Amino acid sequence: MDNLTHSLVGLAAAKAGLERASPYATVVCVVASNLPDIDIVTLAGGPAAYLANHRGITHSLVGSLALGLALPALFAACERLLARLRGRKPRARFKGLLVCSLVLVASHLLLDWTNSYGLRPFLPWDGRWVYGDLLFIVDPWIWLVLGGACFLLTARTGPRAGLWAALAVLLSLLFVSLPRRFGSGLPVAAHAVWFGGLAIFFVLHWSGLAERRGERVAAAALALVAVYCGALALLHHGALKDSQAAAEGLARRQGERVLRVAATPSLADPLAWRCFAETDHATLRFDLSLGEQAPAENPRGLLRVERPEGAARELVERASTDERARVLLGFARFPVARVLPSQGGAALIQFADLRFTEPGAPARTGGFALDVPVTPGR
């Protein structure tokens, strides 16, 4: 998930009661909720290094436990040293900070598991990716619920309220523009819910009613997010069933056999799902909407990428030995490849992870698409 979502979870958890565990607990909650993304430092090695290491050891059970223990220990030690230099008693309570850190680091892993990017929880022993396929990589409804609750509980001064208002404007712009960037649109009802929700939170803040409820507001927001994820799990079950039926219908027309399918969430629309299927001859991508009476044999947005055979397959296998290609293929859940005719004595092999792009997208070294030139016969 995006770091705004992680931060809102950390702040909401603190306001739901964890801030009473120790002085500075709120800071530790917000930092811990983002801490596994410390692997961003691998960007210094280039995009391929980041792709190889992101959601790696810092997102594993062992790595996250180490981070969860190290943060409060380091924080308490620094606070104790600072207190000594200032001639006062330390205020931080290690046990309270430890609880906050472990809970919020765990929340990071749980949220990252819910989307289709996945994570590798069993490193360093097992590099297998696992995917929850429940939440899109950003979810505006979580922004609205948790952001609204945190706004009600923290916007107690004019400057703070102004900062929250600026964030609301920015998120509203993203809410309107992001679906178009991802090639989809949202129904009018979704916009009504978004802007209506913002208006409700403004009224609640003006009345002061929610602030008097204190911890119960934050706890209710977190519970609502949990219920929302549970509802998405039920919808995902239906989407996976429909995608299986659609994939089998498409495979029968080609005389093929379906090997695996996946249904992944779409931005801000719980009824819209992007589906993938791998057969023994091709990889498919298509869209479906739950409750839509579309023919299973002709789903919307169908893209079929044939598996290279013969001489083309040999070229792909040779290109796969490229270090950047190995990184991409090790990450890709639905890897595909196309072979372009040789030009100037070299064929161009286009790799892509069909979840995020397709062959022919601009080559991005170490990203979700990659072009590798191969000289035939060598």
Q: Where are the domains of the chain?
A: 1-132, 234-305, 308-374
Smallest CA-to-CA distance from 262 within 367, 370, 118, 122 is with 118
- pLDDT of 302 strictly over 80: yes
Place of tokens 């995009």: 47
What's the pLDDT band for 347 if we cut at 50, 70, 90?
confident
> How would you class 13 by CB atoms within 10 Å of its CB: exposed for 0-12, middle for 13-18, buried for 19 or more?
buried
Distance, CA of 13 to CA of 28 (rounded, Å):
11
| More confident: 364 or 134 | 134
**What is the 3-state composition of the chain as percent helix, strand, coil, each rounded to the nearest 5?**
55, 15, 25
What pLDDT was estimated at residue 366?
A: 47
Residues comprising the chain, all counted: 378
What pLDDT was estimated at residue 374?
A: 86
Report how far apart, in Å, the C-alpha atoms of 253 and of each of 233, 241, 244, 334 are: 31, 19, 15, 21
178 in Cβ contact with 257 (< 8 Å):
no
Q: How far is CA 245 from the centre of its chain?
A: 27
What pLDDT was estimated at residue 158?
A: 85
Per-residue model confidence as pLDDT tens digits over 178-196: 877 766 677 788 889 999 9
What pLDDT was estimated at residue 88?
A: 87
Between CA 284 and CA 336, with CA 299 as vertex, the angle to 5 degrees is 10
Distance, CA of 21 to CA of 14 (rounded, Å):
9
Strands across the sheet with 282-289, in order? Answer: 258-266, 269-279, 282-289, 300-306
Average pLDDT of 47-64?
91
Distance, CA of 162 to CA of 208 (rounded, Å):
17
Per-residue model confidence as pLDDT tens digits over 71-128: 999 999 999 999 888 888 889 899 999 999 999 999 999 999 999 999 999 999 999 9
What pLDDT was estimated at residue 365?
A: 42
| More confident: 211 or 55 | 55
Question: Which segment of 45-59, 128-142, 191-205, 290-304 scores lowest on mean pLDDT?
Answer: 290-304
What pLDDT was estimated at residue 138?
A: 93
CB-CB neighbours of 214 under 10 Å: 14
- pLDDT of 362 strictly over 70: no
User: What residue type is assigned to position 18 of the chain?
Assistant: L
Distance, CA of 73 to CA of 64 (rounded, Å):
14
Q: Residue-wise over 253-267: b if at least 16 C-beta within 10 A, else e?
A: eeebebeebbbbbbb
What's the pLDDT band for 293 if we cut at 50, 70, 90?
low
